[in-house]
Amino acid sequence: MRDYYNIKINLPGGIASPGYLKDILSAAWQANVRNVRFGSRQQMLMTVHYEDMRGLERNFKEIGVIYETNTDRNPNIVSSYCGEDVFRTGQWLVANEYHSVLDSFDFEPLLKINISDSNQSFTPFFTGNLNFISSPEPHFWYLYVRFKQSNLIFKWKDLIYTNEIGKVAKTVETCMLAGECNDEESLFAAVNAQIRYVSQPAAQDLELPSFSLPYYEGFNRYESRTWLGLYRRDEQFPIELLLDICALCLKTRIGEICTTPWKSLVIKGIIDQYRAEWSGILGKHNINVRHAANELAWQTEDHNQDGAILKNKLLRYFEKNDTRTFGLCFGIQTRTKSEVFGSILVKKRPLITIGQLAIFSVYDIYYTENFNPNSRTQLLFEKGLFKIHVAVQLERLCRRFNNQRSKETFRTVVTEPDELKTIQKNTKLVHQCPDCLTVYDPEFGDISKNIPAGTLFDELPGTYCCPTCDTAKSAMQPVEMNKLIALNTAA
């Protein structure tokens, strides 16, 4: 018999009223649940002992809570509403618009649906099957469709009006799950044969914003009010803490509590006169805020201790080595069919299996194109690593990202000084390590590896690697010597 059950409660758009949340938490408390979690799709998760399950079911039935047990048949609708009035950068997408979209859904989706502001990078764009993203045209949205079990995405031909999103999503889902539409053209034709909706042609493609994860924890000022972000290192939120938060929200007329894809909470609209009471709640429950920024940039799978343990181990290594991770976010995937959001992805895979049981596993490291986590293109960095080697290779990849960003910044900002123009008369090609910037110059060879002067790079053995950090020969990049001189001058 199963000892524990995993319960999931969807919070559409990552929005919950304090009163509704209080009822759920009170019912869970009566069933001896003491902590809850929030998932990567902004849902509420809890683990219940089998002896308490019947009582929880009875309590949920009394207050009308819809939930799932050990399944994920109805994925939660993800939205970027949690960043509205916090990290807002859009011109027309405001709170009422999000509510209009969510109100247009009169069904429980069976596909993953994302609702995103195109100007933010706090929540993912393309982790859904139906991804609605705000367009430059007020009240109209792009739709990017990804078939189930596929990594390929295509853009819908039309921009869809805000109030029509629920209807369109329902019809698209019905056609996709019927199994008769296997490509873009057939799906578009099937949907338009069934419904009419307000739209306009999607003349231009979506421009992905550059990724920058905002610091989403602690007390922060936004215009005339304050918002509070709460992150828990172990992803566990004590129910007693959440009940106190709900009570103070009700007392101070805060109508919404938001969950985020980073498994955290955001409370908006805190009035200055109640700031001390909010601080008092944190003190009462010994809640720390202002963790290091690199701690906040990780996403693990739901209901998975394996990924959480690895995350904490990697964080300790980064802290010990003072590794710079600004501009990056990390995802840890330990199950084949799960999906995590990140510009750098650590994927666990079984090396030896007996039946369904993995006896021995290794790890592969991928990074997304341009290190933008919203890119669907994943590039392999290292393959088949033992767990003990993952942290070192992640640090190498972080250095590569930082060196790449430094070069791009230099090219953008620094104009060519007059004294460098004379150097270009005799351009010489060398090869440079992307991780530590060590240079192989054929004029000098490599004394440390007994490579004589005059040995061309192409003549080096395939086993040659960077003498400083052991980066493979194949990863070293050809660079003109004059550009190296310019880079060193800037430094």
Secondary structure (3-state) at 40: coil
The share of the chain scoring above pLDDT 90, in percent, equals 69
**CA 318 to CA 312: how far, in whole Å?**
10
Q: Range with the lowest mean pLDDT among 256-265, 297-306, 457-466? A: 457-466
Q: Go through 135-157 and write b for each residue having 16 or more CB atoms within 10 A of its CB, e for each that does not.
A: beeebbbbbbbbbeeeeeeeebe
What mean pLDDT is predicted for residues 392-420? 72
Question: How many helices (DSSP H) and strands (DSSP E) are in the chain?
Answer: 11, 25
275: which 2 tokens? 């700031």
- Segment 138-187, tens digit of pLDDT: 999 999 999 987 888 999 999 999 999 999 999 999 999 998 888 899 99
| pLDDT score of 410 | 53
| pLDDT score of 2 | 63
| pLDDT score of 415 | 43
Kindly indicate the confidence band of residue 193, based on its pLDDT and cuts at 50, 70 and 90. very high
| pLDDT score of 254 | 97
**CA 198 to CA 196: how far, in whole Å?**
7
Name 265's bridge partners: 230, 259
Question: At which residue do the structure tokens 């509420």 appear?
Answer: 44
- Chain centroid to Cα 111, Å, comes to 19
- Chain centroid to Cα 114, Å, comes to 13
- DSSP string across 396-421: HHHHHHHHHHHHHHHHHH----HHHH
Q: What is the pTM of this model?
A: 0.84
Is residue 424 pLDDT above 70, yes or no? no
Secondary structure (3-state) at 331: strand
Is residue 490 pLDDT above 60, yes or no? no
- Chain centroid to Cα 32, Å, comes to 32
Between 334 and 463, name the one with better pLDDT.
334
| pLDDT score of 411 | 53
| pLDDT score of 482 | 61
Q: State the average pLDDT for the chain.
A: 89
**CA 124 to CA 92: how far, in whole Å?**
19
| pLDDT score of 471 | 84
With beta carbons less than 8 A apart as the criterion, state whether 308 and 346 touch.
Answer: no
Is residue 413 pLDDT above 70, yes or no? no
**CA 393 to CA 72: how far, in whole Å?**
34
**What is the sign, positive or negative, of the torsion defined by CA atoms of 174, 177, 181, 182?**
positive
- Segment 270-294, tens digit of pLDDT: 999 999 999 999 999 999 998 999 9
Start-to-end CA distance of the chain, whole Å, equals: 64
Secondary structure (3-state) at 210: coil
Is residue 205 pLDDT above 60, yes or no? yes
**What is the sign, positive or negative, of the torsion defined by CA atoms of 53, 16, 294, 282?**
negative
Is residue 416 pLDDT above 80, yes or no? no
**CA 10 to CA 76: how far, in whole Å?**
5
- Segment 212-264, tens digit of pLDDT: 899 999 999 887 889 999 999 999 999 999 999 999 999 999 999 999 999 99
Our CA angle for 374, 232, 131, nearest 5°, is 25
Between 210 and 100, name the one with better pLDDT.
100
Q: Go through 82-112 and write b for each residue having 16 or more CB atoms within 10 A of its CB, e for each that does not.
A: bbbbbbbeeeebeeebbeebbebbeeebebb
**CA 91 to CA 72: how far, in whole Å?**
35
Packing angle, helices 50-63 and 18-30, rounded to 10: 150
359: which 2 tokens? 């006896």
Question: At which residue do the structure tokens 């939930």 appear?
Answer: 67
What mean pLDDT is predicted for residues 8-37? 97
Question: At which residue do the structure tokens 């052991």 appear?
Answer: 470
Task: Give me the amino acid identity at 444.
Answer: F
The share of the chain scoring above pLDDT 70, in percent, equals 92
What mean pLDDT is predicted for residues 60-82? 96
Is residue 449 pLDDT above 70, yes or no? yes
Other C-beta atoms within 10 Å of 288: how many?
Answer: 11
| pLDDT score of 487 | 41
Kindly indicate the confidence band of residue 89, based on its pLDDT and cuts at 50, 70 and 90. low
| pLDDT score of 12 | 97
- DSSP string across 171-235: HHHHHHHHT---SHHHHHHHHHHH----EEE--S---PPPP------EEEEETTEEEEEE--TTS
Between 232 and 477, name the one with better pLDDT.
232
Kindly indicate the confidence band of residue 337, based on its pLDDT and cuts at 50, 70 and 90. confident
Question: Residue 121: phi, psi to the nearest 5?
Answer: -130, 20
Is residue 47 pLDDT above 70, yes or no? yes
Distances (CA, A) of 463 to 383, 450, 466, 474: 17, 13, 10, 9
Is residue 422 pLDDT above 50, yes or no? no
- DSSP string across 111-131: S-EEEE-TT--SS-SSSSSEE
- Chain centroid to Cα 187, Å, comes to 28
**CA 445 to CA 336: how far, in whole Å?**
45
Is residue 483 pLDDT above 60, yes or no? no
